Amino acid sequence: MKFEYAPGATPIDADEATGLIPSHLTLQHELNEYEETNILEAVDWLFGRRRGDPLDQRFIRAVHRRMFGQTWKWAGEARRSDKNIGVRWYEIPLHLNQMLGDVRAQIEHKAYPPVEIAARYHHRLVAIHVFPNGNGRHARLMADLLLTELANQRFEWGRESLTTASEVRSRYIAALRAADGGDCQPLLAFLGQITD
């Protein structure tokens, strides 16, 4: 399998690469399509009959396992090496707890509108970068889930796939970088279009 990376994507380590479950894939687009099929099953599960708490660490991992469990052996498990994005791997549970506590407080005190609470949650989740890979897709789904609970809405994420290089992806990554620096406005502008 030869991995190719869109700008802002996280490279797979050699030891993570051995966790790839399907053995028949050779090209990145084949992997993307394989993962996408797995993810769509997770979306059906998630927005179908059963739902969990997007502010619960175990459920956060369970969703990743649903999304990538047919593709990666380490799906649902926090990473055990450092990446170019994200906190030190051994501080992941600490940062997650802190973040989830902050979000609960924001909700309780209506500190921001629901869309902004969900957008901030998305950024914090992806900035912690819990998993070896799949963080972007996972954190987008988790934010949709939180926004569904808060306001019965989902984001449109620029109305197209964000997984490959595109103008929309560039705007998305730039917005996350601004949020890294404490400015959430570009991310809110990017997410401006929301659906019921």
Ligand X SMILES: Nc1ncnc2c1ncn2[C@@H]1O[C@H](COP(=O)(O)OP(=O)(O)OP(=O)(O)O)[C@@H](O)[C@H]1O
Placement of tokens 């687009």 in the chain: 29
Measured from the CB atom, is 54 or 136 closer to ligand X?
136
> Residue 129 has what DSSP assignment?
T
Distance between start and end Cα atoms, the chain: 39
Q: What DSSP line would sit under 38-50, residue for residue? A: HHHHHHHHHHTT-
- Residue 180 as a binder of ligand X (CB under 6 A): the answer is yes
Nearest approach in angstroms of CB 12 to Mg ion is 8
- Residue among 1, 8, 22, 43 that touches ligand X (CB under 6 A): 8
- Residue among 1, 43, 85, 178 that touches ligand X (CB under 6 A): 85
Measured from the CB atom, is 84 or 152 closer to ligand X?
84
Nearest approach in angstroms of CB 36 to Mg ion is 13
Measured from the CB atom, is 49 or 135 closer to ligand X?
135
Exposure string (b/e) for 5-35, b if CB count within 10 Å is 16 or more? ebebbbebbeebeebbeeeebeeeeebeebb
Nearest approach in angstroms of CB 120 to ligand X is 12
